[in-house]
Amino acid sequence: MYKVGIVGASGYTGAELIRILHHHPCCKITKVYSRSLEGRLISDVFPNFLGIDLSFSDPKNDDFADLDLLFLAVPAGAATEYASRFDGKVIDLGADFRFKDPHLYEKTYGIKHQAPELLLQATYGLPELFRDKIKKSRIIGNPGCFPTSIILALAPLVKTGYAGQIIVSSLSGTSGAGRNLSDSQHFAHRNENFGPYRVGCHRHTPEIESNLANLTGQNHQVVFVPHLVPAIRGITSTIYLDRVMSLEKARELYTDFYQDEFFVRVKGPGENVESKNVIGSNFIDIQIHEDKHADKLIIVSAIDNLVKGASGQAIQNMNLLFDLPEYTALDFYPIYP
């Protein structure tokens, strides 16, 4: 039984790790950490977990002994310290290990990277694309939610050498912004309200571009606009591309590319992509459309931002690190309705 700990377990991605790992047959959460909640029961913060006997420890006073793996669900800039102090396996759900180039990280997040030497031990944790490298890494930079939905939707095409335009319009539920209170997330403001935000400057754009470049060896320019919609979970990405091949070829390309991937469901002709079809699961649904009139391919994807876009994917990476079947504890189907 592997022993794992979670630093930053009082947030939504921490809670989602706890919910899913509760069913993992080969690993057990032995420690949850929070700097402000030492001694409190997990169910004091998340009453849905009433019955789970786990109390918060302060990560400052802990040497993480006995742990086989540490999940880090902390703000950008806070993960490097833990990854330095703990020499076991680390999966960071934040941004600190998503970039190979510390300068790009610094430009994007406006803070200095505290341990650039660790980036050499780190791999971007998209299992469907970087599986072999992940297995051999000590540190995993778990991808952002938007990048997961976009990179997986683009990978088969860009790996053919696609060099055309990439314009992305993504929609997201609110849980991606976490538990921090804000006017934008106040129910009376957010319900019955939607629209774009951070137009032209979202932090996920460099993450998408640099990891596409890692994948293909080419540069790719991405226009990315996220939109907030009045739902809790879910991301859909609508990607406008040049029609470099027919719809049938594109669907064949994607079906072949992902044929052995349990978590990728390439939809058949006539089927629609909606966020609800993946909520509560680690699946990504992908559909390919064409606009013949305007000569475009339009690829659409959907994920649960807290599962495939965060904690589920982190557990998928953990399974790889522990050499377990990749879908262990993750082979559940979406909750509907």
Site string for its own copies, 277-316 (x = CB under 8 A): xxxxx-x-x---xxxxxx-x-x-x-x--------------
Strand 166-172 to 235-242 pairing? antiparallel
Single-letter amino acid, residue 63: D
**Cα atoms found within 13 Å of the Cα of residue 154, Cβ hemisphere only:** 32
Site string for its own copies, 150-169 (x = CB under 8 A): -----------------x-x
Q: Which of 89, 113, 233, 251 binds its own copies (CB under 8 A)?
A: 233
Return the number of the residue (132 or 295) whose C-beta is nearest its own copies.
Answer: 295
Return the number of the residue (212 or 302) whose C-beta is nearest its own copies.
Answer: 302
Interaction residues for its own copies, span 234-263 (CB under 8 A) = 234, 236, 238, 240
Return the number of the residue (161 or 195) whose C-beta is nearest its own copies.
Answer: 195
User: What DSSP assignment string belongs to 14-73?
Assistant: HHHHHHHHTT-SSEEEEEEE-SS-TT-BHHHH-GGGTT---BEE-GGG---TT-SEEEE-
Site string for its own copies, 30-59 (x = CB under 8 A): ----------------xxxxxxx-------
Residue 240, helix vs strand vs coil: strand
Clarify whether 27 is annotated catalytic. Answer: no
Return the number of the residue (25 or 61) whose C-beta is nearest its own copies.
Answer: 25
Closest separation between CB of residue 212 and its own copies, Å? 14
- Cα–Cα distance between 187 and 230 in angstroms, integer? 9
Q: Are 140 and 134 spatial neighbours (Cβ–Cβ below 8 Å)?
A: yes
- Cα–Cα distance between 32 and 313 in angstroms, integer? 19
Closest to 154 (Cα-Cα) out of 278, 291, 288: 288
Closest separation between CB of residue 3 and its own copies, Å? 20
How many residues touch its own copies (CB under 8 A)?
A: 85
The residues annotated with a catalytic role in the active site are 145
